[in-house]
Structure 1
Amino acid sequence: MGLIRVEQLYKVYKVKNSRKGLLGGVADLFAPQWVDKEAVNCIDFTINQGESVGYIGPNGSGKSTTIKMLTGILYPTSGRVLVNHVEPYHNRLKNASMIGAVFGQRSQLWWDLAIRESFELFRHIYRIPYPMFKKNLDKMVELLGLNEFYSTPVRQLSLGQRMRAEIACAFFHEPLIVYLDEPTIGLDVVAKEQVRLFLREINKEKQTTIILTTHDMDDIQQVCERLILIDHGQLIFDSPMEHFVNQYGKERMLLLQFEHHVDNLQVDHGVLVENQNNQAKILFNKDSISATKLIQKMTECYPVMDCKIEEPKIEHLMRMVYEERGRNE
């Protein structure tokens, strides 16, 4: 049946249509005109317990509106959402007890309190038994590196430190589902990897369902096993990450390092993208020729010293999906 069920979800906002000029401003004051703006248009999907899902799309695509309906912040115009058999917007307290959330710049920590005191207040609000709280706290302090600022007031934390503390708060009460919006914003490379490792471990160990919205495609690739793409309020792609890469990521880049510069480099079953400074880049389709076969052909004909295969970036693959959709429309 699924932990989360979304059926024909539809959301329309009433947006004020401002008229131009002084007379238009006066008219708007006494007789405003409103137009309907579709934010989410008849979306259907089911998410099972323990899944890690990247829910992504361009700005204004409707992903934030969808998440707000899943968390009970917004009512849908029509359609239905069920989270563990509960309609979030009709039973917000019960829904809130089952979920955790990190929403961008909206903090759930107390500004003037030290992190440890904020965590203690959070324990009482959710009525978390102390043994469970202590066990989870120790794990999060270790995995998220909270020791260095555990006694520091929230107002003195850097953005990256605060985001790590926010993520810890979202998991203390062992929720069924956690919604994460840009969870690695402001983090350096090491801290990002700490967060990604933490999310993978919690997902695997606790079977916590993770729904991640972000513009950092490395987060999606390293944390999520399933990808849902949304554009102009409509669901345009929903599949395991592996299927997405296989469907759109057939092109690979072969990087070759030669003993010396090779003039008039000839390439079969590929496209020569660059050839300079004893290096060459060849774009090829893995369905036309395997990487092993292409490397073998090149080493037989040219003085190759080293080679490397570059996998396609997920940003590039997503761009292909949107471009293909634009051409079809």
Structure 2
Amino acid sequence: MPKIVLAAAFSGLLLLAGGAGAQSFPTKQVRLVIAFPPGGATDVVGRILARRLSDEFGQQVIVDNRAGAGGGLGTQSVARSEPDGHTLVFTVAGPITAVPHVNKDVGYRMSDLAPIAIVFRSPLLLVVPSTSPIRTLPDLLVRGKPANGQPAAYGSSGVGALSHLGSEMLNVAAGTSFVHVPYKGTPGTLQALLAGDIQWALATGNDSKGNLEAGKLRPLAVMSEKRSALFPSVPSMAELGLEGLDLDTWFGLFAPARTPQPTLDLLHRTVKKILGEPEFAARMRELGGETPTDANTPAAITAGLQKESAELQRIVKVLDIKAN
């Protein structure tokens, strides 16, 4: 009997030690890498999340903007960092599911990162300057035909970014030859668009919202089969005659793949708590997006990422898209 009691007590101590290890995180400040420049949608949402994580953990969460390579530079820095949970990356889909297919030298694979949570979803809008003579999607598509002169140019947040791949999908679906001009993030793209350097762009509802409300941008379509509840007056690609163009964008939080499971679990529970707060959800809607309410477990996210990655890899191969 004493041996049994001793063994049970020892097992209990092991469980307590394991739990204590998870609860001791974080032991120092956390660095949240945002893979795009300051001022864009990813940066705005990421900074809101960083402040709430600081509150929850009682440790400072430092934002580190690392732009370049369509988000690949910042994402690579986290994939190669110490896997202890103190270095995380907040990014859109492209650097996770697309850039590794486009840039073989980017230095990481999707499997080098562990998903914690999807924080924000927003539709992709095709926008032009409000001063543009282009008023409808058919008007724009005419300007993408080589027979009608030099095709118009569109901008993206980098080679392999979702805005790039989505725009090339439009080229294929519509039989157009719009010229690609990459920028280091959406803010640079929108600046070029408003300056008249490019004629159109795909941008998230978050990135577009301020300029739309100020009357500086005109939305022609949303990249989806159905209209977005966030922008109900904007027609979908499908209702304008272009089927199969169904893309939105998500912003997610990731850690290095070899981060201890108790730390990943704690991070997931903490972010899930934040996403469930009415104030946080309302703020995301104000910014032109929504917080996911289902299928937001690491396992479900991984399955979704694998499916998305396979589809984008197919697009990259068909279009022969490569980093310069």
Normalised TM-score (structure 2): 0.25
Greater relative contact order, per chain length (Cα 8 Å cut-off, separation 6+): 2
Give 1 or 2 for the bigger CA radius of gyration: 1
Normalised TM-score (structure 1): 0.25
If each structure's strand is expressed as a fraction of its own residues, which one has the higher value? Answer: 1
